[in-house]
Structure 1
Amino acid sequence: IVRFLLDNGARVNAQNAAGSTALHLVAGFGTTETARLLLESGAAPDLEDHHSHTALHVAATNGNEEMEEEEEEEGVDMRMRNYRGESPLHCAINGGHLRIASLLLEKGADIDATDKFGDTAL
């Protein structure tokens, strides 16, 4: 369906009323194949929704390991912060997704980064 929509003029970075793009939705509940298709079609992985969540924040929050790995390969900025000042690492830890937290740390996420309340992810 995604391929059909893209082939027929769908805007890959269109945002819904909450500011989410197709990549945000796929980050939470989709497949790596769909994410790759969106990224290859020009999806911007650093676009933020109305809560300043990037697709990587969504993947980390929802425990979508495959999506998290796919976005890292695209060079997504792991320092991006949501409206609470949380990095994707904060989101992974808060969601109990330790495997994703480990992957983020392996890729250089800042373990000492603080949110707007001064809290680190740990």
Structure 2
Amino acid sequence: YERSGVSGLTLLMGAANNGHERVVELLLQRGAEIDKQNRTGRTALMLAAQQGHERVLELLLHRGAEINMQSIDGGTALLIAAYSGRPAVVLRLLRAGAD
């Protein structure tokens, strides 16, 4: 479940990026590494935040994703959501304790 392509995206990252909640849950149940980073340091949580996939974001947070992890350029899920124009995600991350 940790195979990654040229970009370093794992199956979990791809599912989170595309909003596939059930696939995310299945991969986590099967042991996918929740905070694994791709080549730019992005995690599944950051990708879900960028795309505005609130249900996937909730699932990842509930399963213990690191909310304040930083990408190579210093971006966090909160900063990425704000930059991507995702106010509902920004609010949810703030309520969950994002810095």
TM-score of the aligned structures, taking structure 1 as reference length: 0.61
Total equivalences in the alignment: 77
What CA distance in whole angstroms lies between the structure 1 residues aligned with 2:32 and 2:52? Answer: 18
Q: Are 1:56 and 1:68, in contact at CA under 8 Å, matched by a contact in 2?
A: yes
Runs of 4+ in 1 over 3 A off after TM superposition: none
Output the CA distance in 1 between the equivalents of 2:49 and 2:39.
17
Please give the TM-score of this superposition, normalised by the length of structure 2. Answer: 0.75
Structure 2: which 5+ runs fail to align? 1-22
Structure 2 residue identity aligned to 1:36: E
Does residue 1:69 correspond to 2:57, yes or no? no
Work out which structure has the larger RCO, using CA pairs closer than 8 Å and 6 or more positions apart in sequence.
2
The 8 Å contact of residues 28 and 58 in structure 1, kept in 2 or not, is answered as yes
* Residue number in structure 1 paired with 2:11: none
CA distance in structure 2 between the aligned counterparts of 1:51 and 1:2, rounded to whole angstroms: 25
1:20 aligned to which of 22, 34, 42: 42
Preserved contact between residue 31 and residue 66 of structure 1 (Cα < 8 Å)? no
Residue of structure 1 in register with 2:54 after alignment: 32
* Residue in 1 that maps onto 2:13: none
Structure 1: give runs of 5+ residues left out of the alignment: 78-122
1:44 corresponds to 2:69? no
Q: Cα deviations across residues 69-99 of structure 1 (Å, max 9, x unaligned)?
A: 110111111xxxxxxxxxxxxxxxxxxxxxx
Q: Which amino acid aligns with 2:62?
A: E
What is residue 10 of structure 1 aligned with on the other side?
Answer: 32
**8 Å contact from structure 2 (residues 52, 81) kept in 1:** no
In structure 2, how many angstroms separate the alpha carbons of the residues matched to 1:12 and 1:61? 23
Mapped to 1, the partners of 2:93 and 2:52 lie a distance apart of: 13
